[in-house]
């Protein structure tokens, strides 16, 4: 690349730009609602503008913005009619929100193992299905698109709903369909670390079912009959009491929506293309490299969006595990991270059945009477457990340049050279 990547001590001379970085227009644009006072979803125009922009981009029938990705999951799961007495199959290897949203809906998460692609293992799903099972949460972890064909076949066979957790997979596609539209409902996150952020937190729910979309909008907004409310606003009629169901207030603010609009404007021509280019550089550098066992799965059907770049090392070739590999890379000033949340059933909330109120709802409540499904202390996902010791991740932020990716590549190769048996 024409400049020195590693110094004599093996430390990179390059700095790594931070992520997130914001569209330069945002600092100016967010002043408008601050000046005019229209900072709420219902008083300003930007909330609906952001939703329409995201809806049109994905091809969804409806997009519903919300406060964060966890709220998006809660909205999506609950609006599908999943609740007390029900079970939902969730991968063990995912952030806690993927399963907590099931509990927040009043249902029971049942943990499934994953493949070496870091996504739910379709071959392990059917064995977990009971008469109480109502849905499957599919997490496209790290921006790696899950194998949706067998999952959708299982869901159709057993009449199950499919909730796609796309928090780390903005821009990912399955058979040229954006993730979130393959299943019944898709849930996105715009938290600080994600592909882009709406100011630290934010989320979006998408669906190809318009009626479900209106249900999501109602759940998101105090249980309003939002379709009626919007028609009444258009007619400038007085708003009566039209809370048709119990709901929550998960509305996004105008300032957050402005930030989201500006990030969407540069997503397809700057953010995502750079991630894919940097992933291709990693692919070319690491494919077939002794010491690396598996790179992120990606093909024309499962088109990744690369939030991170997870790598499985070959512990039969190297004399260190993934945790030590990360420390060795960090010693060379290479940003990296280990595995994220492989075994959710180890959390105290699950092992000790700490739910809501004195009933520890839903674990010990009268609505749920199947103790076998909540024996989390006996749960074990062997592949997720194994991946803990052999997985680390590199970053590929769009704020970086090719020289930063090349520095990461050089760092990985140096650690492998130093630790090959």
- The model's pLDDT over 27-68, given as tens digits with 9 standing for 90+, comes to 999 999 999 999 999 999 999 999 999 999 999 999 999 999
CA distances 364 to 82, 99, 361, 411, Å, are 18, 17, 6, 50
Radius of gyration of the chain, Cα coordinates, nearest whole angstrom: 22
pLDDT, position 227: 80
Which carries the bigger pLDDT value, residue 16 or residue 233? 16
Q: Whose CA is closest to 254, among 60, 39, 71?
A: 39
The pLDDT tens digits for 146-161 are 999 999 999 999 999 9
pTM of the model: 0.95
Q: 343-369, pLDDT tens digit by residue?
A: 999 999 999 999 999 888 999 887 777
- Among 183, 143, 192, 188, residue whose Cα is nearest residue 165: 188
Q: Which two tokens stand for residue 53?
A: 């922009």
In angstroms, rounded to a whole number, what is the distance separating the alpha carbons of residues 49 and 261?
8
Hey, is 113 helix, strand or coil? coil
- Look at the block and give the residue holding tokens 């000046």: 35
Q: How far apart are CA 150 and CA 206, in angstroms?
A: 22
Give the model confidence (pLDDT) of 254-301 as tens digits. 999 999 999 999 999 999 999 999 999 999 999 999 999 999 999 999
């Amino acid at each position: 690349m024409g400049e020195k990547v590693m110094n004599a001590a093996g430390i990179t001379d390059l700095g790594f730009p931070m992520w997130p970085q914001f569209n330069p227009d945002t600092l100016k644009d967010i002043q408008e609602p601050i000046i005019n006072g229209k900072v709420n979803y219902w008083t300003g125009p930007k909330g609906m503008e952001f939703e329409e922009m995201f809806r049109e981009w994905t091809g969804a029938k409806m997009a519903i913005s919300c406060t964060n990705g966890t709220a998006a999951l809660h909205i999506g799961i609950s609006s599908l009619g999943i609740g007390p007495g029900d079970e939902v199959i969730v991968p063990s290897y995912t952030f806690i929100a993927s399963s907590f949203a099931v509990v927040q809906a009043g249902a029971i998460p049942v943990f499934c193992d994953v493949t070496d692609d870091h996504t739910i293992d379709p071959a392990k799903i059917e064995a977990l299905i009971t008469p109480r099972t109502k849905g499957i949460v599919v997490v496209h972890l790290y921006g790696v698109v899950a194998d949706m064909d067998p999952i959708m076949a299982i869901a159709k066979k057993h009449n199950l709903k499919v909730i796609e957790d796309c928090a780390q997979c903005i821009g990912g596609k399955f058979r040229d369909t954006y993730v979130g539209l393959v299943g019944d409902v898709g849930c996105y996150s715009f938290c600080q670390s994600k592909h882009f952020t709406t100011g630290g937190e934010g989320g979006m729910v998408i669906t190809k079912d318009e009626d479900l979309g209106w249900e999501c909008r109602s759940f998101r907004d105090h249980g309003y009959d939002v379709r009626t409310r919007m028609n009444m606003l258009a007619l400038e009629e007085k708003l009566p009491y039209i809370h048709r169901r119990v709901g929550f207030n998960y509305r996004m603010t105008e300032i957050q929506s402005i930030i989201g609009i500006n990030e969407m404007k540069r997503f397809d021509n700057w953010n995502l293309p750079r991630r894919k280019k940097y992933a291709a550089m990693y692919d070319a550098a690491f494919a077939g490299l002794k010491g690396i066992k598996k790179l992120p799965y990606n093909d024309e059907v499962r088109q990744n969006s690369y939030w991170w770049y997870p790598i499985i090392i070959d512990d039969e070739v190297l004399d260190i595990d993934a945790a030590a590999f990360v420390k060795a890379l960090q010693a060379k000033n290479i940003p990296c991270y280990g595995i994220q949340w492989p075994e959710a059933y180890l959390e105290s909330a699950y092992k000790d059945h700490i739910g809501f109120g004195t009933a520890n709802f839903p674990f010990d409540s009268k609505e749920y009477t199947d103790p076998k499904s909540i024996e989390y202390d006996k749960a074990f996902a062997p592949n997720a457990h194994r991946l803990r010791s052999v997985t680390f991740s590199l970053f590929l932020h769009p704020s970086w340049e090719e020289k930063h990716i090349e520095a990461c590549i050089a760092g990985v190769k140096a650690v492998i050279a130093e630790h090959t048996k």
